[in-house]
């Protein structure tokens, strides 16, 4: 599943979703079961009360985007994430990495290495181990 937009100014899920979409997705993932709009609205509204209709609109847009699934269950619809949060972030970061390397080549790789060193020097060691394993497996 490839999201159509990535926001460089965003943070976490905000890089892939609007602010309310990100809150809805966090709520869906936190509930860990197919959930109604009312259940999601209860979680999202803990910080700031939200309209049922607003949450319904956002959730149906997320269905249209292919991020949520909607199923009829006992006269009401329940929604669940297509992917777990971990799997979603893994797929998005993989797609983003491929796109960056495809578009910018060695520049992207060099900048990723620089970023790894600045963020966590142990990441470079982990990368070295992964490269060695990759070489063995080929």
Strands 68-73 and 76-81: antiparallel
Higher pLDDT, 18 or 69: 69
Residue from 43, 34, 45, 98 nearest 71 by CA: 34
Phi, psi values for residue 67, rounded to 5°: -95, -35
Q: What is the pTM of this model?
A: 0.78
Q: Interior CA angle at 124 toward 119 and 130, to 5°?
A: 135
> Which pLDDT does position 12 carry in this prediction?
76
- pLDDT tens string 44-86: 999 899 999 999 999 999 999 999 999 999 899 999 999 999 9
The answer to whether 130 and 136 have CB atoms below 8 angstroms apart is no
Tokens, residue 101? 């390397």
């Amino acid at each position: 599943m490839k999201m159509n937009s990535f926001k460089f100014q965003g943070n976490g899920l905000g890089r892939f979703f609007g602010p309310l979409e990100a809150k809805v997705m966090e709520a869906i993932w936190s509930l860990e079961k197919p959930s109604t709009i009312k259940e999601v609205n209860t979680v999202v509204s803990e910080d700031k009360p939200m309209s049922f209709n607003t949450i319904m609109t956002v959730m149906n847009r997320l269905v249209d985007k292919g991020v949520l699934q909607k199923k009829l269950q006992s006269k009401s619809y329940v929604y669940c994430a297509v992917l777990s949060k971990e799997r979603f972030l893994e797929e998005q970061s993989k797609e983003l990495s491929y796109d960056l390397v495809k578009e910018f080549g060695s520049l992207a790789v060099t900048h990723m290495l620089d970023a790894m060193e600045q963020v966590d020097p142990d990441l470079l060691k982990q990368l070295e181990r992964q490269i060695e394993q990759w070489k063995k497996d080929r």
